[in-house]
Chains A and B, each alone.
Chain A
Amino acid sequence: MADLLKFSIPGKPEYVGVVRLAVSSVANRAGFDIEAIEDIKVAVAEACNNAILHGIHDNCCNYEVVFTLDEKKLTIEIDDNGRGYDTVNYQEPDLSNPKEGGLGIFIIKALMDEVQINSNTGKGTTITMTKYI
């Protein structure tokens, strides 16, 4: 039986630090080592950045962070009802020619075992990521 924890977070930059603390605590509870906890913390924070910067309009609304943990894995879902975007045309950053934006999703994919992004223009984005213990 999996345990479920659900947080509703204001879509403002100053609260991402609160999410990081919560993520670290949940990942520690799940039994991950320090390096994996750090990876999960960074990946979830990047998804929160994504919700704030590319989803929610003008910090108006909350987004949700949902943790599901069982003995084998921790899955985190970051869900906003914001603008959404076209995931089909997402391009990975060209690391030989670094640009200021576009690194967030790339970092999430590098740090987590499974990542799924569902986004509909005008309806919002859900990023689901899993790390196995």
Chain B
Amino acid sequence: MTLEMKSIFNNELDHWTLEVQGEIDVFTAKNLREEMIRIFSEKQKDIILDFNKLSYIDSTGLGVIIGAYGRMKEKGNHLIIVNAKQNVLKLLTITGLDKILIRNTF
């Protein structure tokens, strides 16, 4: 049960990419919250969450993402999820979050 994150700012495209690896659950969700707050306060730009290596997410993880989405929207920024695996995509669809967080192109 681990969560590893790597944040890279893309100067050319002017956004953050946050790669998330492992599992986001009730134990690790706070780490994602802290990392998103950290990078957004360092540079107030859009964030792309790359879930290519994310194997699991639960409602506490989704809650953290909803919170970040709301805070960023207030500042006029976007939060987007890319490369979600089927099981993660299923939860995003059930909760309706796919409609606001998933985009085919950015």
A interface residue numbers (CB < 8 A to B): 13-14, 16-17, 20, 38, 42, 45-46, 48-49, 52-53, 93, 95-96, 98-101, 103-104, 106-107, 110-111
Q: Could you tell me the distance between the alpha carbons of A68 and B2 in the complex, rounded to whole angstroms?
A: 30
Assess whether B58 is interfacial by the CB under 8 Å rule. Answer: yes
The residue of chain B having its C-beta at the shortest distance from the C-beta of A52 within the complex is: B26
Q: Could you tell me the distance between the alpha carbons of A49 and B58 in the complex, rounded to whole angstroms?
A: 9
Assess whether B52 is interfacial by the CB under 8 Å rule. Answer: no
Q: Is the CB of A45 within 8 A of B91?
A: no
Contacts of B94 in A (CB 8 A): 106-107, 110-111
Q: Could you tell me the distance between the alpha carbons of A48 and B25 in the complex, rounded to whole angstroms?
A: 11
Q: How many residues of B contact A (CB 8 A)?
A: 23
Indicate which residue in A20, A46, A52 contacts B59 across the interface (CB closer than 8 Å). Answer: A46
Indicate which residue in A42, A93, A106, A110 contacts B58 across the interface (CB closer than 8 Å). Answer: A42
Q: How far is the CB of A34 from chain B (nearest CB, A)?
A: 9
Q: Is the CB of B95 within 8 A of A100?
A: no
Q: Is the CB of A95 within 8 A of B58?
A: no
Q: Is the CB of B97 within 8 A of A98?
A: yes
Q: Is the CB of B97 within 8 A of A17?
A: no
Q: Is the CB of A14 within 8 A of B1?
A: yes
